A and B are shown apart, each in its own frame.
Chain A
């Protein structure tokens, strides 16, 4: 199987390699300001990747993936302030978020909540976080040494080296960390979807009853992929508050919740590189639109969403793949005719 997985992962390795090239080339070419901005985009791409996993492969339309992203960011920030060391804070952030998702998912999946209500529940949880944390501006709202800061949020300590808590990373170095984290998460998810677990999740997405009739406990698989997705979103959250420098309750807003869904729709469900690419594209589009006042930002995003839902319902990546496959199907006749004499010669 291992060989089979590696063979199936060839495109994944290819994109990961492109990512590596970008990681080492970008700081030499781009300005520091752009690099710092990119770090934020990378964090959001990790978030998109997590939703691409649980929605695209698990079939779970989680409308509140930002809840896990924000929870991870807050958990990291609060833990880092209290510990004075960011390395264990990252672990704490991922573990708290995954544990929270596991608890929430337990009630959703073992309660056999239907897809529509799952979306409602996850969105509601996100908005509860939003309202709750906005109201924590007083000095009495603190966890350990960390003031929650309400609407203004908390400023996040920058990452320090794992072996030396007094040497902080500069923004240009955080970029490397973020990019490496994105590539590793991408490889991990790319591997996961080709394992038995991942393939059973896809089967459950396709037909839950059939999967159960084959003897798979769909609740466990869904809970598993949901929890893993939340953990990855938390990594995105950690990167996000390092890119921005602080975390505010705005991360839990309806706008951000919807935006995550848009990235995955535009990029394409059932692919990983699609949503990641779409995140970068839309991030830069909104940045560019921010520089002008002719068109409203949200209006443009809304139009993009409508255009994609109507005209490119599968998203960019699957549409491109279909197109390439269709072209290849026409081609092989010629290829085969040429290839045959060669193989005969070899024999």
Chain B
């Protein structure tokens, strides 16, 4: 079912993130294999986004360890995580509003390549994501969905081997959501992915293995079908939807 190819790329051991008395993430042991595509789901406040922020260095965990490709990245700065070759997209679109689409992608590509190669990669990505019409426009003037796409482009253009996406389909139209799912499948051909998502339809489009978060811990880890069939899972999350 899961396309395990041996190597563990992300591992957390006993990961905890407490805010005062609130245990947003509590004792999470999580493993992701190379080329795996994993969705994190769960109701609001289940701790998925907090867990995501611990992985990406936006939060320093209270306890536990984060290992990326065997390296201890617990409490690392976001740039240190990204410098391993990890592509990250946050929940709120984080883009460079004052720069054009071209420049946004260039800054991402230029981290890894010289100017010529970076520009070639930018053109390639712009074609791939069909951003040609807006490539000279400033991000601040684009619609929400387009900004999400540009941010995905910034992830893709850097050719990461591990991609972490927090709600990539949030606020997208139906068609955009569908294309995002296609893009994720494509990224998955060369890299491992963790996708935090709320949109169940979207998860059904892309999912292999799903990790269900509940009250700061992992409730279960299985296929979407198995989770939908599970009574406990339906109670905490799917119950009010199904």
Contact = CB atoms under 8 A, between A and B. Distances in A.
Interface of A: 1, 4, 196, 199-200, 202-203, 205-207, 209-218, 270
A213 B95 contact: no
Looking at A202, A206, A216, the one whose CB has the most chain B CB atoms below 10 A away is A206
B97 A214 contact: no
A192 to B, nearest CB: 16
B240 interface: no
Interface in B83-136: 83, 88, 90, 94-99, 103, 106-108, 110-112, 114-116
Contact of A196 (B79, B108, B110): B110
B88 A213 contact: yes
B158 interface: yes
Contacts of A213: 56, 78-79, 82, 88, 90, 94
Contacts of A205: 98
B77 interface: yes
B154 interface: yes
A215 B83 CA distance: 5
Looking at A196, A200, A270, the one whose CB has the most chain B CB atoms below 10 A away is A196
Interface residues of B, number: 27
Given A200-B107, A212-B78, A214-B158, A1 B94 contact: no
Q: Which 8 A-B pairs have the closest CB atoms?
A: A215-B82, A1-B115, A206-B96, A212-B78, A210-B94, A212-B79, A215-B83, A203-B107
Interface string B50-72: 00000010100000000000000
B94 to A, nearest CB: 4
A43 B214 CA distance: 63
A212 B58 CA distance: 10
B154 to A, nearest CB: 7
Given A196-B110, A214-B158, A218-B79, A203 B96 contact: yes
A185 B96 CA distance: 28
Given A206-B96, A209-B58, A214-B107, 4 more contacts: A210-B95, A213-B94, A215-B112, A217-B77
A231 B36 CA distance: 50
A220 to B, nearest CB: 9
Contacts of B98: 202, 205-206, 270
A102 to B, nearest CB: 20
Given A1-B115, A196-B110, A217-B77, A209 B94 contact: yes
Nearest to A218: B79
A214 B106 CA distance: 11
Looking at B103, B107, B116, B158, the one whose CB has the most chain A CB atoms below 10 A away is B107
A205 B107 CA distance: 13
Looking at A196, A214, A215, A218, the one whose CB has the most chain B CB atoms below 10 A away is A214
A319 to B, nearest CB: 16
Given A1-B115, A196-B110, A207 B95 contact: yes
19 contacts: A199-B106, A202-B99, A206-B96, A209-B94, A210-B95, A210-B154, A212-B77, A212-B78, A212-B79, A213-B78, A213-B88, A214-B79, A214-B108, A214-B154, A215-B79, A215-B82, A217-B79, A218-B79, A270-B98
Contact of A203 (B58, B77, B99, B158): B99
Contacts of A217: 77, 79
B212 to A, nearest CB: 26
Nearest to B98: A206
A216 B107 CA distance: 10
Contacts of A207: 94-97
A115 to B, nearest CB: 16
Given A210-B94, A213-B88, A215-B83, A199 B111 contact: no
